[in-house]
Amino acid sequence: MSRVLGYLFVLIFILSLNFALPRFLPGDPLTALVGEQDLIISPEFRQELKQRYGLDQPLAHQFGQYLVRLLSCDLGYSFYHQAPVSAVIGPPLRWTALLCGASFLVSTILGIWLGVELAVRRSRPWTAAVVGVCLVLASLPGFLLGMALLLGFSLKLGWFPFFGALDLVPQVSGSATWGSGILRHLALPALTLVLAELPGVALLVRGSLLKVLQAPFVLAARALGLTETRIKYRYQARNALLPLITRLGLRFGLLWAGAVPVEVVFAYPGAGQLLFQALLKRDYPLIQGLLLVGILAVLAGNALAEWGYRLADPRVRSRTWY
Amino acid sequence: MKNNKKVVWLALLVVILAGIGFFSAGGGTASQPYLIGDPQGDWGFPSPLAHNPRGPGYLRVSFLFDTLIWKDDKGFVPALARTWEYQDSPPTYVFHLNPQALWHDGQPVTSEDVAFTVAYLKKHPHPWVDTRPVEKVEAPEPHTVRLILSRPYAPFLEEIAGTMFILPRHVWEQVQEPSRFQEPRAAIGSGPYTLVEYRREHGLYRFAAFEKYYQGKPVVPEIGFVQVGNELVALKGKAVQAASVPPEAIQELRTQGFTVLSQPHFWCLKLLFNHRRFPQREAAFRQALAHALNLPDLVSQALRGHGLPASPGLLPPDSSWYQASQTLYGYNPAAAARLLASLGYRRTAGGWEREGQVLELELLTAPAYARVGEYLEKSFREIGLAVRLRQMDHVVLDQRVKSQQFDLALSGHGGLGADPKMINDVSLGPLAAEFLGGYQPSPQLTQLLADQLHTLDQNQRRKFVAQIQELLARELPALPLYYPTWYLGHDGRLPWFFTKGGIAKGIPTYFNKMALLPQTLPVSSP
């Protein structure tokens, strides 16, 4: 109960910050909206814009309006896209969920597997080479990796599309073709994110596992005659999971922000790119809407991490919470 | 054995990835639309009153909606109005509409629609169309409409008749909030294309040829705009058929069979001065800085030669209103030093000093002009003037300029090919003063700017505009630096041409819908 109240308090505090932060950004939305054509647009239109977006109202009034709208689940009206914020962010959030969800899942599963193998087979010469590759991949900027994949697989080989998230003109009817179009568009952006995220997961698991490889419980498990695979994943890996869960919990809420460079390279219509553009255009309602979603994702990530601790570690489960 | 298993799994993964590509790449039979790539993507719903107020937003709507007249590479051409004439007293433009013109829903276009549009825009302003000069609209016949002006207005044809999208009265008369009217009916226009699909998140606009278009069905059945991550890669991969391309790719694209066109120079980067501060408010100081800069060298270094040094009179040589300035500022550090000395400054080891204070100024620049900023800083240092560079986001820069919190700043604008009313827009009035650091034009310049708006005699107006350029060159409210050259790459299938002065009131792009009509026009080389 106390934890729920804690989250509620954080949410209320953040909602207020959410309103204030975009307005702390230097630069005004009208100038950002019309850009260099500020001088060319008609004066009547300029006045009309101010009224339309409530920018001629005092800040306190704008804040009141924001809260009232929020209570009725209205996120406001985007200055730039001239549409309700919920309609603007809906489709990009779905694409982001697909891209980040897929890459998060794949990078986590493959990362755990690779980390375990690197730790268990640490004496083999190839593991040093793989660790080196992991370090190189982890240090590469996402957009560079994405651009290399785009040039190689799309431009040179012609295997994958250049931009977007689905076929613009469905080639032939049928859900199989529609689905394969989505998969083809997803492949390279997701691969970029997996390659960027997997090394970190693998190295973390490897590091944590190295500490428990010779632990007494491992000796006990071997004495019981358990298989090596069972010992590796059921006992050793599980004991090394706690730092990884912390990392994944923190990462979960920030996934979409990390996807921004990849979304830009592949013109993947996700929410990260939308937030980036909204910040450039000082689109206050859109920034507020997206940050709200981001905040909820971070809170959800923290809650999932806590739940994950309790699932992975019986010691945490048995502890009394006050 | 175990290792073999892993190799098999790895091979399977690669095959699956490749298979995804092959699987659906081979399934296509439907014809792809002609696609134009754009890194920005969404420019708003394509209706005349919901699109983004910048040029690309207007451009997309222009495929769906027609204006009374339009422009090709030579000048005004008929659109909804087959013919038009001017009558003196009262100042009136009479337009005779094409009786074959239809709305996309099959209803005829009439003079009532034109009258309705003007009345509607007076109530709900359009970003680009200032309807104030139109006092009254009469629709004496179904296909004749008279626009009566309060006084002669020289830019009328370009600014109003050639820019104002005509709205179907039967669709819009009940609409109270035009910017929120974004249903399919809002895209019913009288233009050569109808809206097939608008996907905001993909920046996708798909248009299909309107079978009953009064100037003939367009030759391209389907055309569209779409967001791309990298225009050059998308063009080279033939995922789009046209896109802007960087200068360094021109040769390679031509070798690969693409057509590359350069655009006329209708965009200018300027050095802005804060006229509320000394010494920037002194013409001698601004002229000194002009002499300190070697503009051809700036173009070769900052733009690698892909641009033109700017004229101090603002308008570029590509503009039909351009007048070569008598006042020129060649690179002359000695002249710059003399001008600074004339303001009471004395050259010391620390820089230019006056009343015990060394002159040091801050130059605001945006990331896009970083190299220009460095070049200016170096050039000013060479004449002993200390300048601190400060880089910031361009929105912040614009805001700092508007609130007069700057010494010097780099900023640019387009529209230089349009009607010379644009000179008034950028140098006269309270907003222009904000953007020009509080600059107040001299009474002579103010009078000339007012006169050129109301002079219908083209030769007389041309003289006024020439004098305006000369005065701007002398006063230097801002110092024009260069006009960059931009390039369009396309597959050569369509005869894109550059519209005289830019589309409507000066959009600097090749994508004029006239190029898609049956009587195709030759490609222009500006």
DSSP state of B44: B
Residues on chain B touching A95 (C-beta within 8 angstroms):
201
Give me A44's structure tokens.
């009547």
Could you give the CA distance from residue A308 to residue B514 in angstroms, rounded to a whole number? 62
Cross-chain CB nearest to A180 (options B23, B226, B237): B23
Q: C-alpha distances in angstroms, A66 versus A203, A258, A292, B238, B368?
A: 44, 28, 12, 46, 35
Residue A210 has pLDDT above 90, yes or no: no
Q: B52, A82: Cβ pair inside 8 Å? A: yes
User: Average pLDDT in the B235-263 region?
Assistant: 94
Asked whether the beta carbons of B161 and B149 are under 8 A apart, the reply is no
pLDDT digits (tens, 9 = 90+) for B23-72: 444 444 456 789 999 998 899 999 999 998 888 999 999 999 999 999 99
pLDDT digits (tens, 9 = 90+) for B400-452: 888 889 999 999 988 899 899 999 988 886 677 777 888 889 999 999 999 99
Q: pLDDT band at residue A1, thresholds of 50, 70 and 90? A: low
Cross-chain CB nearest to A154 (options B29, B237, B412): B237
Closest CA to A195 of A157, A275, A236, A140: A140
Where is pLDDT greater, at B27 or B236?
Answer: B236
Question: Would you call A77 helix, strand, or coil by DSSP?
Answer: strand
Q: pLDDT band at residue B9, thresholds of 50, 70 and 90? A: low
Q: pLDDT band at residue B370, thresholds of 50, 70 and 90? A: very high
Look up residue B31 and give its amino acid: S
Where is pLDDT greater, at B4 or A314?
Answer: A314
Residue A312 has pLDDT above 80, yes or no: no
Q: B413, A52: Cβ pair inside 8 Å? A: no
User: Average pLDDT in the A112-119 region?
Assistant: 88
Where is pLDDT greater, at B55 or B112?
Answer: B112
The pLDDT value recorded for residue B380 is 96
Rg of chain A over all Cα atoms, to the nearest angstrom: 24
Asked whether the beta carbons of B47 and A35 are under 8 A apart, the reply is no
Closest CA to B306 of B481, B484, B482: B484
The pLDDT value recorded for residue B373 is 96
Residues 6 or more apart in contact with residue B133 via CB below 8 angstroms? B149, B150, B151, B153, B156, B160
Residue A104 has pLDDT above 60, yes or no: yes
Alpha helix segments (H runs only) across B293-429: 295-302, 333-342, 370-382, 394-402, 421-427
The pLDDT value recorded for residue B302 is 94
Please indicate, yes or no, whether the overall pTM of this predicted structure exceeds 0.90.
no
Residues 487-516 of B with CB under 8 A from A: 505
Cross-chain CB nearest to B395 (options A27, A39, A52): A27
Beta bridge partners of B97: B81
Q: How many CB atoms lie within 10 A of CB B270?
A: 22
Q: How many CB atoms lie within 10 A of CB B484?
A: 18
Cross-chain CB nearest to A40 (options B17, B395, B415): B415
Give me A196's structure tokens.
């960027």
Cross-chain CB nearest to B24 (options A35, A81, A177): A177
Residues on chain A touching B41 (C-beta within 8 angstroms):
267, 269
Mean pLDDT of chain B: 90
Asked whether the beta carbons of B59 and B414 are under 8 A apart, the reply is no
Residues 93-152 of A with CB under 8 A from B: 95, 147, 150-151
Where is pLDDT greater, at B321 or B394?
Answer: B321
The pLDDT value recorded for residue A309 is 76
The pLDDT value recorded for residue B113 is 97
Number of residues assigned to chain A = 322
pLDDT digits (tens, 9 = 90+) for B76-109: 999 999 999 999 989 999 999 999 999 999 999 9
Percentage of residues of chain A with pLDDT beyond 90: 18
* A216–chain B nearest CA distance, Å: 28
Q: pLDDT band at residue B216, thresholds of 50, 70 and 90? A: very high
Q: B425, A40: Cβ pair inside 8 Å? A: yes
Residue A249 has pLDDT above 80, yes or no: no
Q: Number of A to B CB contacts under 8 A, please give it.
A: 195
Residues on chain B touching A42 (C-beta within 8 angstroms):
125-130
The pLDDT value recorded for residue A292 is 86
Q: Which residue of B has its CA nearest to A280?
A: B395
Percentage of residues of chain B with pLDDT beyond 70: 92
Residues on chain B touching A26 (C-beta within 8 angstroms):
393, 395-396, 399-400
The pLDDT value recorded for residue B499 is 94
Beta bridge partners of B309: B482
Could you give the CA distance from residue B109 to residue B65 in angstroms, rounded to a whole number? 12
The answer to whether B7 contacts chain A (CB < 8 Å) is no
- Using DSSP bridges, classify how beta strands B268-273 and B34-38 pair: parallel, antiparallel or unpaired: unpaired
Question: Would you call B244 helix, strand, or coil by DSSP?
Answer: strand
Asked whether the beta carbons of B259 and B495 are under 8 A apart, the reply is no
Q: Which residue of A has its CA nearest to B432?
A: A39
User: Average pLDDT in the B291-305 region?
Assistant: 95
The answer to whether A314 contacts chain B (CB < 8 Å) is no
The answer to whether B55 contacts chain A (CB < 8 Å) is yes
Q: A168, B226: Cβ pair inside 8 Å? A: yes
User: Average pLDDT in the A258-269 region?
Assistant: 89
Residues on chain A touching B132 (C-beta within 8 angstroms):
44
The pLDDT value recorded for residue B5 is 59
Residue B472 has pLDDT above 60, yes or no: yes
Cross-chain CB nearest to B27 (options A28, A43, A171): A171
Residues on chain A touching B127 (C-beta within 8 angstroms):
34, 37, 41-42, 45
Give me B205's structure tokens.
């606009």
First-residue to last-residue Cα distance in chain B: 69
Q: pLDDT band at residue B121, thresholds of 50, 70 and 90? A: very high
Could you give the CA distance from residue B234 to residue A152 in angstroms, rounded to a whole number? 13
* A131–chain B nearest CA distance, Å: 18
The pLDDT value recorded for residue B23 is 44
Q: B229, A162: Cβ pair inside 8 Å? A: yes
The pLDDT value recorded for residue B526 is 29
Could you give the CA distance from residue B273 to residue B438 in angstroms, rounded to a whole number? 9
Q: A170, B30: Cβ pair inside 8 Å? A: yes
The pLDDT value recorded for residue A41 is 67
Of A250-254, B50-54, B119-123, least confident by mean pLDDT is A250-254
Residue whose structure tokens are 């051809």:
B296
Could you give the CA distance from residue B163 to residue B65 in angstroms, rounded to a whole number? 11
Question: Would you call B524 helix, strand, or coil by DSSP?
Answer: coil
Residues 427-456 of B with CB under 8 A from A: 431-432, 435
User: Average pLDDT in the B163-170 region?
Assistant: 97
Angle at B369 between CA B368 and CA B372, to 5 degrees: 155
Q: A184, B21: Cβ pair inside 8 Å? A: yes
Residues on chain A touching B395 (C-beta within 8 angstroms):
26-28, 31-32, 280-282
User: Average pLDDT in the B511-522 region?
Assistant: 80
Asked whether the beta carbons of B356 and A243 are under 8 A apart, the reply is no
Residues 38-97 of A with CB under 8 A from B: 38-45, 48, 52, 80-83, 88, 91-92, 95
The answer to whether B369 contacts chain A (CB < 8 Å) is no
The answer to whether B463 contacts chain A (CB < 8 Å) is no
Q: B227, A267: Cβ pair inside 8 Å? A: yes
Q: What is the ipTM of this complex?
A: 0.80
Could you give the CA distance from residue B463 to residue B448 in angstroms, rounded to a whole number? 10
* B168–chain A nearest CA distance, Å: 21
The answer to whether B393 contacts chain A (CB < 8 Å) is yes
Where is pLDDT greater, at A320 or A263?
Answer: A263
Q: Which residue of A has its CA nearest to B204?
A: A168
Q: B230, A35: Cβ pair inside 8 Å? A: no
The pLDDT value recorded for residue A126 is 85
Q: B229, A150: Cβ pair inside 8 Å? A: yes
Select from A23, A24, A28, A42 the residue whose CB has the most chain B CBs within 10 Å, as the one to mutate to test that interface: A42
Q: A184, B20: Cβ pair inside 8 Å? A: yes
Q: A91, B124: Cβ pair inside 8 Å? A: no
User: Average pLDDT in the B245-251 region?
Assistant: 94
pLDDT digits (tens, 9 = 90+) for A47-103: 777 777 777 788 888 888 888 888 888 888 888 888 899 999 999 999 999 999 999
Q: Which residue of B has its CA nearest to A276?
A: B40
Residues 257-296 of A with CB under 8 A from B: 264-269, 274, 280-282
